[in-house]
Structure 1
Amino acid sequence: MAILPIRIWGDPVLHAPAESVETVTEEIRALVADMYETMDAAPGVGLAAPQVGVGLRIYTYAYEDDEGSPWRGEIINPELWMTPTEPGDPDPDTESEGCLSFPGESFPLRRSDRVVVTGSDLEGEPVRIEVSGWRARIMQHEFDHLDGTIYIDRISERDWKTAQKISKKRGWGRPGSSWIPGIDDVDA
Structure 2
Amino acid sequence: MKLPIYLYGHPVLRRESAEITPEYPELKKLVADMWETMYGSDGVGLAAPQIGRNDRIVVIDSNAFAEHFPECADRKFTLINPEVEVLDGETITRDEGCLSLPDLSEAVPRIEHIRLKWVDENFEPHEEEITGFLARIVQHECDHLEGKMYIDHISPIRKQLIKGKLNRIVTGKTRCDYPVRYAPKK
TM-score grouping bracket, smaller chain normalisation:
0.7 to 0.9
2:136 aligned residue: 137
Question: Is the aligned partner of 1:82 residue 2:81?
Answer: no
Shift of 1:183: 5.3
Shift of 1:85: 5.8
CA distance 1:86–1:19, shift in 2 (3 Å)? same
CA distance in 2 between counterparts of 1:182 and 1:99 reads 13
SS at match of 1:152: helix
Q: Could you say what the CA RMSD is over the residues aligned between the two structures, in angstroms?
A: 2.4
Q: How does 1:88-127 map to 2 (within 5 A)?
A: 91=93, 95-127=94-126
Q: Percent identity?
A: 35
Give the corresponding residue for 2:170: 172
Identify unmatched segments of 5+ residues in structure 2.
Answer: 181-186
Alignment CA distance shift 1:183-1:12 (3 Å): closer
| Correspondences of 1:29-48 after superposition (within 5 Å) | 29-48=28-47
Task: State the alpha-carbon separation in 2 of the partners of residues 21 and 179 from structure 1.
Answer: 33
Which residue does the alignment assign to 1:70?
74
> Are the structure 2 counterparts of residues 16 and 138 from structure 1 closer, same or farther at C-alpha, using a change threshold of 3 Å?
same
Check the 8 A contact 1:8/1:173 in 2, yes or no: no
Contact 1:5 1:180 in 2 (8 A): no
CA contact (8 A) 1:46 1:60 kept: yes
Distance 1:180 1:27 in 2: 28
Unmatched tracts of structure 1, length 5 or more: none
**Deviation string, structure 1 residues 62-117 (Cα, Å, up to 9, x no partner):** 01112683211111001111124635xx64xxx11011111121000111111111
- Separation in 1, partners of 2:174, 2:81: 25
Q: What is aligned with 2:60?
A: 61
Give the TM-score taking structure 1 as reference length. 0.84
> Which whole-Å CA distance do the structure 2 matches of 1:180 and 1:5 have between them?
11
Residue 6 of structure 1, CA deviation:
0.5
Q: Cα distance, 1:126 vs. partner? A: 0.6
Note the 1:151-166 alignment, pairs <5 A. 151-166=150-165
Contact 2:15 2:146 in 1 (8 A): yes
Q: Please give the TM-score of this superposition, normalised by the length of structure 2.
A: 0.85
